[in-house]
Amino acid sequence: MNQIPDKKFWKIKKEIRILGIDDSPFTQGQEQVLIIGAMFRAGNWLDGVLSTHIKGDGDDATSRIVQMVIGSRHRDQIGVIMLDGITFGGFNVVNIPEMFQTTGIPVIIIMRKKPDLAKMKKALERFSDWKKRWELVKKAGKIQKINSPEPIYIQTSGISSEDAEEIVKLATTRSAIPEPIRVAHIIASGVITGDSKGSA
């Protein structure tokens, strides 16, 4: 497969479509975990909602999210995919470069705190395929700190750090994190628990 080059944004429009993705609350041993995608025009208003399921602590997060994106009627409008972290449903790790290469849509990972990679590696070691999962963590790229409006951390694939930072700031309108991620978290939590609570 030919490698798709990073997307160049000559000018980032204020109405750029962003798909924010988060999972529902997870408990160890849970087989199926709900994934929600909130389709936003920057950080201003919600355009649509996507959903799929992954295996708790499984290895299908990348393929399931990619299928959700490719199968969406919004696909051609999505300018950027934002993920709330690199793991979903426990330790179902996303292959960030593969997601970009398969969809052709740049990916930005959003993290409130700088991840403790040593702690994450130790947690992954309980899985028989932990080396494979750990490789996906390492593939996610350089961790970058930005202030938007509070300090958060990002990783990217298919987009420059400068463009990613501008888009994150554009989408952060009502809290410390981008609105597409915040709303995806609220929807996922509300659907599963019956009452949304907490922050992404």
pLDDT bin (cut points 50, 70, 90) of residue 194 is: low
pLDDT at 196: 58
Q: For residue 1, tell me if it sits in a domain.
A: no
Q: For residue 119, tell me if it sits in a domain.
A: yes
DSSP class of residue 141 equals -
Q: For residue 196, tell me if it sits in a domain.
A: no
Q: For residue 7, tell me if it sits in a domain.
A: no
Return phi, psi of residue 167, to 5°: -70, -40
Radius of gyration of the chain (CA): 16
Q: For residue 86, tell me if it sits in a domain.
A: yes
Return phi, psi of residue 70, to 5°: -65, -35
Domains identified in the chain, total number: 1
User: Which residues span the domain enclosing 104?
Assistant: 17-187
Q: Are 85 and 178 in contact (CB under 8 A)?
A: no
Q: For residue 9, tell me if it sits in a domain.
A: no
Q: For residue 29, tell me if it sits in a domain.
A: yes
pLDDT in tens, 149-182: 789 999 999 999 999 999 999 999 888 899 999 9
Q: Residue 118, exposed/middle/buried by CB under 10 A (0-12, 13-18, 19+)?
A: exposed
CA distance 56 to 54: 6
CA distance 70 to 52: 12
Q: What is the CATH number for 84?
A: 3.30.2170.10
Q: Residue 106, exposed/middle/buried by CB under 10 A (0-12, 13-18, 19+)?
A: buried
Predicted TM-score of the model (pTM): 0.90
Q: Are 170 and 148 in contact (CB under 8 A)?
A: no
pLDDT bin (cut points 50, 70, 90) of residue 120 is: very high
Q: For residue 198, tell me if it sits in a domain.
A: no
Q: Are 157 and 137 in contact (CB under 8 A)?
A: no
pLDDT in tens, 51-102: 999 999 999 999 999 999 999 998 999 999 999 999 999 999 999 999 999 9
